[in-house]
Amino acid sequence: MRLSARVDYALRAVLELATGGESPVTADKIARAQEIPPKFCESILLQLRRGGIVFAQRGPEGGYWLAKPVTEISLLEIIEVIDGPLGSPRSQSSGALQQVWTALEDAERHILTEVKVSHVVSGDLPPLGVPTPAL
């Protein structure tokens, strides 16, 4: 699985907000703390706001904060807000090979849905095993 730079930065920005306390955090502070180019960070935060992951407030007391508890935000949700839905590999394969691609996508989706921002922040990941499909 490949993740775009946008997704990597978005995940890092959300983690920064998750550890930033209750008050709004500015885009500049997130960018500096996570070494994200500032304009890129602002663009990503706008996408996250539109996707319902963060709230934003303008002004001197403004900034960004998470729109939901960290226990309710999955990594998959962040990835799909930034890059769109996970898709199947584009393949003309049939039979067993196509089953492998489908199983791979299912495993990715399962893990990314199960792992929440709270797990990453605490370092206490849930069991990541996925049932093995019959081929």
Arithmetic mean of pLDDT over the chain: 89
Q: Report yes or no on 131 lying in a domain.
A: no
Question: Hey, what amino acid is at 29?
Answer: K
Q: Report yes or no on 17 lying in a domain.
A: yes
- Give the structural domain span for 100: 5-122
Q: Report yes or no on 132 lying in a domain.
A: no
The values of phi and psi at residue 89, to 5°, are -60, 135
Distant-in-sequence contacts of 28-36, Cβ < 8 A, 24+ apart? 29/63, 30/64, 34/9, 36/9, 36/12
Is 18 within 8 Å of 121 (Cβ atoms)? yes
Candidates 123, 119, 99; CA nearest to 111 is 119
Tokens of 29: 């502070």
CATH of the domain at 14: 1.10.10.10
Candidates 111, 120, 109, 85; CA nearest to 12 is 120
Q: Report yes or no on 93 lying in a domain.
A: yes
Q: Report yes or no on 109 lying in a domain.
A: yes
Please state the domain count of the chain.
1
Question: What's the CA angle centered on 116, arms 35 and 85, to 5 degrees?
Answer: 80
Q: Report yes or no on 47 lying in a domain.
A: yes
Q: Report yes or no on 130 lying in a domain.
A: no
Q: Report yes or no on 135 lying in a domain.
A: no
> pLDDT tens for residues 31-70?
999 999 999 999 999 999 999 999 999 988 889 999 999 9
Lowest mean pLDDT segment, chosen from 11-20, 25-34, 66-75, 120-129: 120-129
pLDDT at 89: 57
